Chain A
Amino acid sequence: MLIYILKRLVYVTPVAFGVSLVCFLLVHLAPGDALSAVLPADATQETINEMKAAYGFDKPLPVQYLIWLWHVLHGDLGTSIATGRPVLGEVSRAVVNSLILASVATLLGFTFGTLFGFVAGYHRNSVADRAASALSVFGVSVPHYWLGMVLVIVFSATLGWLPPTGAGPDGSGNWRPDFDHLRYLILPAVTMSVIPTGIIARTVRALVADILSQDFVEALRAKGMDEFGVFKHVVRNAAPTALAIMGLQLGYLLGGSILVETVFAWPGTGFLLNAAIFQRDLPLLQGSILVLAMFFVVLNLLVDVMQTALDPRIERA
């Protein structure tokens, strides 16, 4: 197992460097100058050169990359051009908020997804099965930013039950686990959970149907095991894959939260990215994308390791 983890690490390292390179180059894809957004239009050449030197933009690209990487490895993601504050601090606060939202949505998605998936897998071609497959098509086809709007229209604008935007009553950027804050979490979390619900339901249905059709289940029943015992076997066989998909979905939600966070003005990474893009705050853009992508890489690694640990069928060599 330890060897397996080391092997995965060896494999992930170049990918992580590739990711950092892509994040670095993103800024240089940007048309115009990284500084043009903050410098006054009538800045003299001298001022421009001075700023360029201050941010290191006067050096050749590979050198800039290495300097940037060196700083990143020491936890320095640079300074936000718009606010002048360290990018790392801004991103960390946002990541916590996004992680709360994405985790709750993933848990919701996992709960309902497995529920529907099991029912559908156990009763194939029944009404429940059709409903579950319709739900999963709905989950992957619905534009979730629109779904968020519809939920706001229904539950906030029309019924007035839940707040439409924000993370808390005081308008603060920090979510706390109390009733008032919980009300703010419901709509965005439900909106975001639709995709994982659909995907997990589809996967679990296929897994359960496949396991139930295998010979060993026949053998278990033949040797007199009751349905609950069979059910436990099914769960044990379906769990590694279902959990792995849940882990990946958490990563997708965290990275893809920008649209939903924009709809609900949730103060997470998506909101931060949005701000960074429109203020052309490139260090902030670069930093938040890097953090999110690295999070996804690490999550993938954890999912791989966990799945291998849980599933004896996967060879660890």
Chain B
Amino acid sequence: MSVIPDAPDPFARDRGGPAQPLLSVSGLYKHFPVRKAGGKKQVVRAVDGVDFDVLKGETLGIVGESGCGKSTTAKLLMGLIERDSGSLLYDGQAVGERVMPWRSYRRQVQMVFQDSYASLNPRMTVEQSIAFGPKVNGVPGREAVERARALLARVGLEPKRFAGRYPHEISGGQRQRVNIARSLALEPRLVLLDEAVSALDKSVEAQVLNLLLDLKAEFGLTYIFISHDLNVVRFISDRVMVMYLGRVSEIGPSDTVLDAPAHPYTEALLASMPSLDPDNRTEVALLAGDPPNPIDPPSGCRFHPRCSLAEPVCSEKEPPLDTIGPLHRVSCLARQPGSGHSSAPARALAA
């Protein structure tokens, strides 16, 4: 039951059945114009052709180094910046068109930002911040406040103590709980968490992650969970998508991608994580240097200058995102039959 009064909202209920992806992204592009010294116009290819689906009820983790386009993707999914091209299908319905304008899409899809402080208005109490969304959607003031308090209680903040507080008066973990409560105030079906726990202490992070899992089960939510921390992603995600320089390099079930990565970049990312096991310390840096400049990405496979499997073919041919296993897709010539790469599997294997 929705608290939003001008119901029936056709998108609040499931439409296409469990098999239809909740959100389907295809051909997403975003290039930012930049002006370099000398006045020459160039573009940063922040998101450069991204396709993926978010399945109903899952948690899709998105990982990658900083600058890989994770956050831009998040903002594109929310319509906070305009996409150059590409389409979003929400439960089979094109977003941003007449049937589903951004306004009704955003009731279904909400976002939690990384910076818990910057995402709360410093002049508003916690309760006012949470009640703002329902209020502008027509919920009467008193009801909106009641709902805000109920949500505060649900995210583990006693309303009596916290409702009237200002953001600077509470801790980072508490603020992020408030942000989560706010994202739920419009009763969305999909919540996008952009580095939502990255700025928190480890112990607080664990508590907030558990809260997120509880809320997901209780409200039947779907999550997109963006993080640079592979441990956290492994813990919370059903599927993982790895991004590199504005592209998807690998996507698949968490266990598969993180335990048996197919893309050399995923492998390198996993290897570069600090290990707590002394027998298992990384001896060689698999991921040397910074990612290349997204203004002028390398030709062919964008990872080839840093890749241990790189061959001449890698700088000539752009690898497509191909299926190599159940739900597992990867964009690496070395894993794609007939690609011309010497370690590519035989064609028969893939069939």
Contact = CB atoms under 8 A, between A and B. Distances in A.
Contacts of B38: 317
Contacts of A317: 35, 37-38
A195 B35 CA distance: 41
Interface in A76-105: none
Contacts of B39: 3
A3 B40 CA distance: 13
Interface string A1-17: 00100000000000000
A317 B39 CA distance: 8
B35 to A, nearest CB: 8
Nearest to A315: B37
Nearest to A317: B37
A276 B311 CA distance: 83
Number of chain A interface residues as a range:
under 10
A317 B37 CA distance: 6
Q: Is the interface of B mostly helix, strand, loop or mixed?
A: loop
Contacts of A3: 39
Number of chain B interface residues as a range:
under 10
A312 to B, nearest CB: 15
Contacts of B35: 317
A314 B225 CA distance: 40
A6 to B, nearest CB: 11
A82 B38 CA distance: 53
Nearest to B35: A317
A3 B38 CA distance: 9
Nearest to B37: A317
A317 B35 CA distance: 9
Interface string B15-44: 000000000000000000001011100000
Interface string A284-317: 0000000000000000000000000000000001
A3 B35 CA distance: 14
Contacts of B37: 317
Interface string B224-237: 00000000000000
Interface string A114-146: 000000000000000000000000000000000
A290 B82 CA distance: 45
A3 B37 CA distance: 11
Interface in B95-140: none
Nearest to A7: B39
Interface in B233-261: none
A163 B39 CA distance: 58
A187 to B, nearest CB: 50
A199 B37 CA distance: 35
A317 B34 CA distance: 13
A75 to B, nearest CB: 35
B34 to A, nearest CB: 11
B198 to A, nearest CB: 28
A238 to B, nearest CB: 28
A36 to B, nearest CB: 53
A317 B38 CA distance: 7
Interface string B71-111: 00000000000000000000000000000000000000000
Nearest to A316: B37
Interface string B273-313: 00000000000000000000000000000000000000000
A317 B40 CA distance: 11
Please list the 4 inter-chain residue pairs (A to B) with the smallest Cβ-Cβ separation, ordered nearest first. A317-B37, A3-B39, A317-B35, A317-B38
4 contacts: A3-B39, A317-B35, A317-B37, A317-B38
Interface of B: 35, 37-39
